[in-house]
Amino acid sequence: MNIVQNQDTAHFNMLEQQVRPGDVLDHRVLAVLKQIKRADFVDESLSGIAYADIQLPIGHGQIMLPPILHGRMLQALDIQNDEHVLEVGTGSGYFTALLSTLAQHVTTIEIMTELSLIAKQNIEGYGFDNITYCVGDASKTYPLSERVDVIVLTAAFVVIPDNYLQNIKVGGRMLAIVGQEKNMEVQLIQRVSERGWETKSVLETVIPAVINAEPKPEFKF
How does pLDDT run across 91-133, given as a tens digit for each residue? 999 999 999 999 999 999 999 999 999 999 999 999 999 999 9
Give the pLDDT score at 215: 65
Q: What is the pLDDT of residues 189-203, one digit of tens each?
A: 999 999 999 999 998
Domain that holds residue 199: 3-205
Domain-embedded: residue 211: no
Tell me, what CATH number does 136's domain have?
A: 3.40.50.150
Q: How many residues would you count in the chain?
A: 221
How would you class 194 by CB atoms within 10 Å of its CB: exposed for 0-12, middle for 13-18, buried for 19 or more?
A: exposed
pTM: 0.91
Least confident of 44-58, 78-92, 170-184, 203-217: 203-217
Taking residues 26-52, what's their average pLDDT? 96
Q: How far apart are CA 155 and CA 153, in angstroms?
A: 6
Domain-embedded: residue 216: no
> How many angstroms separate the Cα of 178 from the Cα of each of 10, 89, 108, 162, 200?
31, 15, 20, 13, 12
Domain-embedded: residue 149: yes
| Strand spans (E) along 158-221 | 168-180, 183-193, 196-205
DSSP state of 83: -
Give the pLDDT score at 217: 58
Q: What contacts 61, CB < 8 A, 6 or more positions away?
A: none
Domain-embedded: residue 165: yes
Domain-embedded: residue 25: yes
Taking residues 18-23, what's their average pLDDT? 95
Total structural domains within the chain: 1
Q: How far apart are CA 144 and CA 212, in angstroms?
A: 20
Domain-embedded: residue 214: no
